[in-house]
Amino acid sequence: MSKKTITQCALMLLLFTFSTLSCSKTTALSIGLPIFFGIVTERSKKFQTLDLYLASYLSLRGHAPAFVRKGTRVVFEFPASDEVYRVAAEYNGNPDVELLDFISEIRKNRSHMLSGRE
């Protein structure tokens, strides 16, 4: 098992605690992602997550989310592809990012998320 930074451990704990969605084991294990990272719906082949920061990182790397309302929550939905999983795994590795660009994506996605809950 590789060593994790405190930031990574805290992030993984937050994802596990606050996400009500879980990833299919075969998909997650084949690419080395934590099982609680997101969910792939077999019917539509979409990757869904409640994690604003993961969605913002994917958005920053060129994968625009669809905002799907489920009850009182808004779920970020991406096409399930190898590239999306590669970028999600990259995010889990605590990469260096341009801070202001990342914050801008977080604000944009949060704004869409909150407007979708109304």
Domain regions of the chain by residue span: 6-116
| pLDDT beyond 70 at 50 | yes
> Given strand 39-41, what is the order of strands in its sheet?
39-41, 46-49, 73-79, 66-70
The per-residue pLDDT for 32 is 47
Instruction: Label residue 65 by pLDDT band (50, 70, 90).
Output: very high
pTM of the model: 0.64
Q: Whats the size of the chain, residue-wise?
A: 118
| pLDDT beyond 60 at 9 | no
| pLDDT beyond 50 at 82 | yes
| pLDDT beyond 80 at 58 | yes
Range 26-37 average pLDDT: 44
